[in-house]
Amino acid sequence: MDNPYVKVNPYKDSPLTALVIFQTDKAAKVSYTVEGKTDKTSITNSVKGYKKVHQVPVAGLYADTNNTVTMTITYKDGTTETKVLTIKTGELPKYVKNAEIEVTKNDKDKMDIGQNKLTLINRTTKEPFAIDADGEVRWYSTNYSQHTIEQTDNGHFLILTKKTVDSMVYNDLIETDVLGRVYKEYSFNSKVKSNDSNNAKDETTVIHHDLLELPNKDILATVNDGSKYKEDVMVQISHKTGKIVKVIDLKKLLPSSMYKNYKAGADGKIDWFHQNAVDYDASDNTIMISGRNQDMIMKLNYKTNKIIWIYSGKKKSSWPKKYRSKILTPTKGTSITGGQHGLYQLEKTTDGEDIILYDNNIDVTNGDKKTSGKYSQAVQYHVNLNNMTIDQTWAYGKSLGKANFTNIIGYAERESNGNTLIDFGFKNKGQESNIIEVDSDGNQVFNITIKNAASKAYVYRAYRLEFYPSGYTFDVNK
């Protein structure tokens, strides 16, 4: 412990982390604290179990700083030792450094930050990064990502990236951890081969907006299939073989008029659904999805692909008869979603479920024409399956008005203390991204603005995550 081995950025793509290795004569457990610059910005983590050989993954360092890191070694008899390290880091890269972060509110006593939580900035492109309550960057990956960086139950990240930053194609999905160690890699063809004669152009990405890890560790992803229709297919990818083991084509589930009558875009593709979210519920093997261009959310039985419910501004009478029993009826005062993003389930209830989403509130095809473009908001709904109704139970954003309207991207996340973190990602036509954390009464406790997002590197989603969570285990020998 007197002379530990310290390696900054051990896997070459996570520069604000370090690996510290040392031995003790007796079995001990280790924790560490990266000293913060201000109150409540220190990062503290613990390594699982009592050991004699210690491999300590350190996360949460500041850039271009001589970081003070205190190691605490606790033996089984309760005695402790400490070791203070100084860990030097380099400067931030251009596309992270040039993102101008302004903090106008950070009530740290009311924010959901715990001992090691940071706000992960999931960008539309370029390097993802994470900030503390002061807006200081405390983690980033040198892997360019597009839309997708998701934390799994074991504390790893699934990042959609590309092999070289100069490539136009994001066709590399990696499972990595906070240190940047890659555990698994799924590579996709740069060009999608298709037998469809209407295939207009090659894809720049196969996976596009969202993915998740299923309980069996397979990947469920929103994909393009190479046909003239895009962003309307999901696939399950085997984590063992990389092969496709299940396909869900939304054209086979929804009325043909929705896609046959939809106008093709400038790329020659028909983006009639534009799926931008998928959420899985292991308790009943169901998924919820969001289709921006239909202003629609829906729930499916994942085994049978049968529709459980649908909510949209499209009148029930205009649906073919076989769908009408699945259409949710909004209660009085419940908003119609428009161009929404980030749908996921909060919890099950005796009669249905509570869900949350980010409502862009833009009338794409079936939104609310009266309010479209006037505001965007985070919305919580209760779905009652007994009477097939949907009831708006909480919302925030309407009071901010047109200043926080975003016609694309965005996210809403419910935190462990009941707060909600909201990403107004395309504010002021993309000139800035505004991330706000509010309590259940709508009082702001955190407000930051990120400007100069570089080449379309807006904040696609913002997550409040542990760096690293209790499920994370690092072992250099495995």
Q: Is the pLDDT of residue 204 over 70?
A: no
Burial 19-31 (b: 16+ CB within 10 A, else e): bbebebeeebbbb
Q: Is the dihedral of CA 463, 467, 469, 473 positive or negative?
A: positive
Annotate 405-450 with DSSP letters as a single string: --SS--EEEE-TTS-EEEEEEEEGGGTEEEEEEE-TT--EEEEEEE
Closest residue by Cα to residue 341 from 257, 251, 458, 438: 458
Could you read off the pLDDT of 312-348 as tens digits, one per residue?
Answer: 999 999 999 999 999 999 999 999 999 999 999 999 9
Q: How far apart are CA 165 and CA 195, in angstroms?
A: 30
Q: Which strand (E) or helix (H) includes residue 97?
A: helix 94-97
CA distances from 175 to 56, 102, 219, 239 (A): 20, 31, 11, 11
Greatest extent of the chain over all pairs of C-alpha atoms, in Å: 75
> Around Cβ 66, how many Cβ atoms within 10 Å?
9
Specify the pTM.
0.96
pLDDT of residue 189: 73
**DSSP code per residue over 137-183:** EEEE-SS---S-EEE-TTS-EEEEE-SSTT-S-B-EEEEE-TT--EE
pLDDT level of residue 194 (50, 70, 90 thresholds): very low
- pLDDT score of 366: 97
Residue 149, token pair as written in the block: 């960086």
| Span 351-385, pLDDT tens digits | 999 999 999 999 999 999 999 999 999 999 999 99
Task: Name the phi and psi angles at 179, rounded to 5.
Answer: -80, -10
Tokens representing residue 98 in the block: 């040039």
CB 372 within 8 Å of CB 364? no
Q: Write down the residue that tokens 């529709």 correspond to.
A: 307
| Residues making up the chain, counted from first to last | 478
Domain boundaries 5-88, corresponding CATH code: 2.60.40.3100
Among 444, 442, 407, 445, CA closest to 424: 407
Pairing outcome for strands 5-8 and 377-384: unpaired
Which CATH number does the domain 94-466 belong to among 3.30.365.10, 2.60.40.10, 3.90.1150.10, 2.120.10.30?
A: 2.120.10.30
pLDDT beyond 80 at 192: no
The pLDDT tens digits of the residues spanning 130-168 come to: 999 999 999 999 999 999 999 999 999 999 999 888 888
Kindly tell me if the per-residue pLDDT of 196 is higher than 80: no
Task: Report residue 444 as tokens.
Answer: 């702001």
Are the CB atoms for 476 and 179 separated by under 8 Å? no
For residue 62, CA distances in Å to 51, 109, 142 come to 28, 22, 15
Has residue 193 got a pLDDT over 60? no
* Residue-wise pLDDT tens digits, 67-92: 999 999 999 999 999 999 999 999 99
Give the count of beta carbons closer than 10 Å to the beta carbon of residue 168. Answer: 10
- Measured at the CA of 298, the angle between CA 292 and CA 301, to 5 degrees, comes to 140
Q: Which of 438, 440, 409 shows the shortest CA–CA distance to 422?
A: 438
Give residue 200's pLDDT.
37
pLDDT band, very low/low/confident/very high, at 201 (cuts 50, 70, 90)? very low
- Looking at residue 191, what is its pLDDT? 56
Domain assignments of the chain as residue spans, ordered by start: 5-88, 94-466
The pLDDT > 70 percentage for the chain reads 96
Structure confidence by residue, pLDDT tens digits, 404-439: 999 999 999 999 999 999 999 999 999 999 999 999
